[in-house]
Structure 1
Amino acid sequence: MSLAIANICIDCADPFALATFWSAALDLPVDPGSASGDEEVGIALPTGQDLIMLRVPEDKVVKNRLHLCLAPPEVDPTRVGASRDAEVERVLALGATVVDDLRQPDGKGWVVLADPAGNEFCVIRPAEEQAG
């Protein structure tokens, strides 16, 4: 027997607001039964699990010990890294901030970002580019 990931939870002060950010970033809807002020708000992932925002009383203080690495689903054929860069710009416009930019001139690398609650995540290159 083995364990399986049931859900991924993100601690925050305002679950509905953070779920709204992640909903836009992932292009997935917030649970329709959720409302502002809820203690937990979920987003159903296509894999069958949920991404759940949980209200906690304390602010984030140190670097995450666990984070999400996100990749664009498609490769921009015009240049290596273009789809990653476009996604970075898109999530920045949604309210993310850059923690560390590790992109390299040859298109390799990734960007470490933080969501509006300060939780880190990375945007990496699409799988097709990594394999190439």
Structure 2
Amino acid sequence: MLRIGSTVLGASDVRRAAEFWAHALGYVPRDEIEETWAVLTPPGGVGQNISLMLSDTPVQERPRVHLDLYSDTPDDEIERLLGLGATRVDWADYPPDADFTVLADTEGNRFCVIDKPDVSSP
């Protein structure tokens, strides 16, 4: 049986990306953060990891894979993430009733904050 162990994001500065995502998600380094690789894990080790890998590949404007972060207080979380170094993405494809906001991390990787009142359900 397979299970997802980690989502890997490319980064030109692994330490900076690891710091952003650790603060954004409340995760902790699983091991020592290296120049080329870091794995962040939820406190207690239960849940999916986020890994950062050194990459010189350009950031995709419309990535095929991205993170959707659910929140019951999306406006507050967006402001908190912006304070950590995230940036708003000028997204032309928002539907009229959009329940999500597109942001980019410190490396330019796109992710969404979604208004999901019950964060415990998928």
Shift of 1:66: 0.6
Question: Stretches of 4+ moved more than 4 A in 1?
Answer: 101-104
Identity of aligned residues (%): 30
Structure 2: gaps spanning 5 or more residues:
none
Alignment CA distance shift 1:65-1:47 (3 Å):
farther
Higher strand share: 2
Distance across 2 between alignment mates of 1:103 and 1:92:
23
Q: TM-score, normalised by structure 1?
A: 0.74
Shift of 1:57: 2.4
Within 5 A, what are the aligned runs for 1:71-110?
A: 71-72=70-71, 75=72, 83-99=73-89, 100=91, 102=94, 109-110=99-100
Higher-Rg structure is: 1
- Count of equivalent residues: 116
Distance across 2 between alignment mates of 1:87 and 1:55:
27
Q: TM-score, normalised by structure 2?
A: 0.79
Within 5 A, what are the aligned runs for 1:28-67?
A: 28-31=27-30, 33-35=32-34, 38-45=35-42, 46-67=45-66
Distance across 2 between alignment mates of 1:31 and 1:116:
21
Distance across 2 between alignment mates of 1:119 and 1:32:
23
- Aligned Cα root-mean-square deviation (Å): 2.6
Distance across 2 between alignment mates of 1:44 and 1:103:
33
